[in-house]
Structure 1
């Protein structure tokens, strides 16, 4: 079976499962911060950015371990996929909070979405450009003349910024190919340098069989351009809230601190219990296998920990870098992510600071200074 057929079947199953799944028990509309369930809990909906997977492990664990309930919240995690845009769901009032990449959320904000980043969970970008060593791509300049995969849709600005800074014109010096959210074209040789997240698409390659050896591919088979390490990383998964409610609704303000506090505890649990977390994610509905989710949990933890200023805290330097790339880097059609600097309401550390202060009083390790990732062995197909 070709790589494309096998992976397409897997992704189709994941998308179907995501469409049907709600993690949690609430089926009410987005809350006003005042309604309660029969158990006296406030119903809250959090929109995921994609199907249930370990990318959202902290939220899954906050539900499973009862951290949201401890805060008086009945949280439902709403999977995305297809045409669902998390920040639009939030802006339209369909959910109370949404997980979104900062550049995409800023673009929506510029178009009128009243949303605010209240907790920046991922402290580092997880986007890579990977190639087989036989293609001899060891620097950004080596992309010249190559077929380069890009997901588009706002995911392309890190590599475009890197190529531009290196003196390459993405419109002329490389051949940009629309890449699916899999590694089919890369594995089949149609794309020489493919986009990959550390926690997902890279694993898809490493759990695939090298036809030349009959064994799984390894990192030794690849050259990797890490956009974060090269200075072009942009803020990715953050927790976004309703800007207007943050200004006018005291109940929503208090709720936001509670949501963040429970979420951060979930991420601490995911950091300290990688194997159990992977199993919990699979049980929560992920259609990707246990070894894939264990890899994903481990890699996502690397994007979060250590967090010297406290998990979820928005760093001004990284925020400014994200805004600078979003404002000045042009994609293949000549467009930038945003056309003007976002105003001061685009993010706030107010609520995450409150949550961190309370967690520190509880003795929770919110910096993860001693965090050490594990070595995960992938199985064929991510089983």
Structure 2
């Protein structure tokens, strides 16, 4: 669900799901062969490293692959699911993938340490991170976290929480225990009462709570049983899922630069498909190997759409104000060790709208709605256990 940091030395071949777009003789783009016969156009092979396991968080990519959008763009795409010990940017910089999906603040730190990578498309315009508490906890905002047991996954996922507390005058030392509680990648400790406010993504852990039976009512927990601190509302949201490319290859390899635009184009088409038919997108991800329950997968697809649509400037365009805000917080937010995410402004190569804007122009010329101004989420009913 997110890039959990632990240094990776190689991408293991075993257990990695590789989904490859294929062309058929009937409907593939064709070029003329030397003999004059029509031959299938050659597709350019590229790979993308996700930051977590196969799930609807990545519905844009799986939908683009399934629906042939990558193939239409001239690409043969392999999707590499993530894992707890895979750092997407490490995979990209090692040359084991052509693109990587990762959160911006995490990559800013890697760039300062020497990673030559560029954000070429900001797929998520909004943050999906919440801090969740029970409605009777007395917690309503970040300012109320003082004296509470506050959970966090760590590994770079804690920055919005810390920034939100700092903006509200709450330090880590003000928390019960003097720091955050190390939270597992689930909501078990929260439901058991061991954590007062737990970290959750709108599209995953928050739903996990709503899939559990409330022992006091015998029914599933409802949103009325909970209170959420949304960092978008608190003003400390940071940019999350973005497509990252190799900066040096972009500058020196025209074919790679062209493939970058093509990959973004296909991905945006996948996002539009998932917006228009979240159930189909959820089914595609399930068929690709996700083990999440049916209702949970649909919830995730629906919530992911909310992070993308409606788009302010076109899906993937990197809004300068959001980039600058994320950088500013990365320079100011202090972690438990007393250091900030970065100590200096990132280089100009840290992001570029050149490739995404080219993709958006092509899509708009084709009549694709890249803004989704009329987007409205669907209603999803969660079942116990997400089934």
By the TM > 0.5 criterion, same fold? Answer: yes
d(CA) in 2 for partners of 1:289, 1:146? 32
Q: What is the CA-CA distance between 1:24 and the residue it aligns to?
A: 2.3
8 A contact 1:19–1:81 mirrored in 2: no
Aligned partner of 1:314 in structure 2 is 318
8 A contact 1:19–1:79 mirrored in 2: no
Aligned partner of 2:241 in structure 1 is 237
Aligned partner of 1:261 in structure 2 is 265
d(CA) in 1 for partners of 2:77, 2:61? 9
Aligned partner of 1:5 in structure 2 is none
d(CA) in 2 for partners of 1:186, 1:148? 10
Aligned counterpart in structure 2 of residue 194 of structure 1, from 186, 195, 198: 198
d(CA) in 2 for partners of 1:378, 1:335? 40
Is 1:23 the equivalent of 2:25?
A: no
SS in 2 for 1:320: helix
d(CA) in 1 for partners of 2:264, 2:320? 19
Stretches of structure 1 lacking an aligned partner (at least 5 in a row):
1-15, 27-37
Aligned partner of 1:90 in structure 2 is 92
Aligned pairs for 1:191-340 within 5 A: 191-340=195-344
d(CA) in 2 for partners of 1:20, 1:87? 17
- Residues 162-194 of structure 1, C-alpha deviation per residue, up to 9 Å, x if partnerless? 111111111234441011111111011100100
Aligned partner of 2:362 in structure 1 is 358
d(CA) in 2 for partners of 1:320, 1:42? 34
Aligned pairs for 1:48-87 within 5 A: 48-87=50-89
8 A contact 2:21–2:71 mirrored in 1: no
d(CA) in 2 for partners of 1:174, 1:323? 29
- Of residues 224-233 and 39-48 in structure 1, the stretch that sits farther from structure 2 once superposed is 39-48
8 A contact 2:143–2:170 mirrored in 1: yes
Aligned partner of 2:29 in structure 1 is none
Is 1:166 the equivalent of 2:162?
A: no
Q: What is the CA-CA distance between 1:20 and the residue it aligns to?
A: 4.0
Q: What is the CA-CA distance between 1:331 and the residue it aligns to?
A: 1.2
d(CA) in 1 for partners of 2:274, 2:150? 34
d(CA) in 2 for partners of 1:25, 1:51? 19
d(CA) in 1 for partners of 2:295, 2:363? 31
Aligned counterpart in structure 1 of residue 380 of structure 2, from 366, 371, 376: 376
- Residues 60-100 of structure 1, C-alpha deviation per residue, up to 9 Å, x if partnerless? 00000000111111101000112100011001110000000
- Residues 239-279 of structure 1, C-alpha deviation per residue, up to 9 Å, x if partnerless? 00000001000011111110000100000000000111111
- Structure 1: 4+ residue segments shifted above 4 A: none
Structure 2 length normalisation: TM-score? 0.90
Q: What is the CA-CA distance between 1:347 and the residue it aligns to?
A: 0.1
8 A contact 2:151–2:181 mirrored in 1: yes
Q: What is the CA-CA distance between 1:308 and the residue it aligns to?
A: 2.4
**How many positions carry a matched residue from both structures?**
356
Stretches of structure 2 lacking an aligned partner (at least 5 in a row):
1-11, 23-39
Aligned partner of 1:41 in structure 2 is 43
SS in 2 for 1:215: coil
d(CA) in 1 for partners of 2:16, 2:263? 24
Structure 1 length normalisation: TM-score? 0.91
d(CA) in 2 for partners of 1:124, 1:240? 17
SS in 2 for 1:211: coil
8 A contact 2:148–2:197 mirrored in 1: yes
SS in 1 for 2:233: coil
Q: What is the CA-CA distance between 1:25 and the residue it aligns to?
A: 6.2
d(CA) in 1 for partners of 2:242, 2:125? 9
d(CA) in 1 for partners of 2:343, 2:154? 18
